[in-house]
Amino acid sequence: MMTKGTGILTYLTAFVFAVGICQRLPAQENAAASPEKVILDTDIGDDIDDAFALALALSSPRVQLLGVTTAWGDTDLRARLAARFLSRTGHSRIPVAAGPKTHAVYPFTQLRWAEAWPEPKPGWPDAVDFMLDAIRRNPGQITLISIAPFSNIGALIDRDPAAFRQLKRVVIMGGSIHRGYGDLGYLPDHGPDPEYNVLMDIPAAKKLFAAGVPLYMMPLDSTQLKFQEVLRSTLFSQGTATTNALSELYEQWTASTQNPTPTLFDAMAVAYSLRPDLCPTEPMHIVVDDKGYTRAEPGEPNAQVCLNSDSDKFFHFYIPAVLRTEAGQPLMAHESVPADPAPVKKHRHP
């Protein structure tokens, strides 16, 4: 039987509990509203999907893009392309850093667009130095999204493996578990392939999967997202600074490759970082073999892997996201956009 005294005590206890909940709610809401600190590591300029991935990262108020680092091949030229894209879309304050140059296998399809942006006189900041500095300033807070061969990641692990483990997580487009290139589900799958980002730097890929950092993997199984004509027309017709830049890069890419339909492999890595439900993952133990295959084998999981995605669901997210107005109206083509600076003329010596 509840007495008057116990009733008052119960009421006071409930009141104190309710006050405590109310005091905690603003802090929880602020934490939920805090944007994700992200570094995007990209080989932008060869295939076109890197540009679409960068556009998505720039369009979300839930992303604080700390910087763009360029990997593989002519990283200085890739940095010029990234810097021009950032400027054209109103994000010129985001830093760009270039990683170690390597031999590239595929042509730089968006060369003319990149060359319209000048090389900075002191050169580009070093990508590995940039990433290390950012990680040390923000331990446990940064998501590294890697949509390139893992040359920068390998160099970063070699330089300071302990700092690399201070990343919050690494999200990659890379690998192939059950499906290879062209396995779209309409015909029987031919099986896994050595995927490009892994194959180009197998030693670095091995280091990544052994590094002990939370790793989220978007392989070929879930990233062969065909950007068909009706979807391209919907996006390119909007006339924003972002869609105009994407349209220009697309035209150069398709003229170079004679392929009208991009596959937005890399955009899924960014999309997953924003909406994990677009590519549900499962824990797996992944081993990178000497031929560049990513094998799922028995053992302690070292990656969360997405094996299936819904293309229609992805594009219903992607297009409105790139055009979203949550952080204010998008920068329209007729508005004031910084002009491209004149390229710096270089004198070639024999």
Nearest to 219 by CA among 179, 277, 262, 275: 179
The domain of 193 spans: 36-322
Residue 341 lies in a domain: no
- The structure tokens 């270089």 sit at 346
Q: pLDDT truncated to tens, each residue of the chain (350 aa)?
A: 444 344 443 433 443 334 343 444 344 334 456 899 999 999 999 999 999 999 999 999 999 999 999 999 999 999 999 999 999 999 999 999 999 999 999 999 999 999 999 999 999 999 999 999 999 999 999 999 999 999 999 999 999 999 999 999 999 999 999 999 999 988 999 999 999 999 999 999 999 999 999 999 999 999 999 999 999 999 999 999 999 999 999 999 999 999 999 999 999 999 999 999 999 999 999 999 999 999 999 999 999 999 999 999 999 999 999 997 333 444 444 344 455 555 443 333 33
Residue 24 lies in a domain: no
Q: What is the pLDDT of residue 11?
A: 38
Residue 336 lies in a domain: no
Domain count, the chain: 1
Residue 206 lies in a domain: yes
Residue 214 lies in a domain: yes
Residue 184 lies in a domain: yes
Give the Cα separation of 263 and 224 in Å (integer): 6
Residue 246 lies in a domain: yes
pTM here?
0.86
Residue 51 lies in a domain: yes
CATH number of 256's domain: 3.90.245.10
Give the Cα separation of 67 and 92 in Å (integer): 11
Q: What is the pLDDT of residue 324?
A: 78
HEC readout, the chain: CCCHHHHHHHHHHHHHHHHHHHHHHHHHHHHHHCCEEEEEEECCCCCCHHHHHHHHHHHCCCEEEEEEEECCCCHHHHHHHHHHHHHHCCCCCCCEEECCCCCCCCCCCCHHHHHCCCCCCCCCCEHHHHHHHHHHHCCCCEEEEEECCCHHHHHHHHHCHHHHCCCCEEEEECCCCCCCCCCCCCCCCCCCCCCHHHHCCHHHHHHHHCCCCCEEEECHHHHCCECCHHHHHHHHCCCEHHHHHHHHHHHHHHHHHCCCCCECHHHHHHHHHHCHHHCCEEEECEEECCCCCEEECCCCCCEEEECCCCHHHHHHHHHHHHCCCCCCCCCECCCCCCCCCCCCCCCCCC
Residue 166: alpha-carbon gap to chain centroid: 18
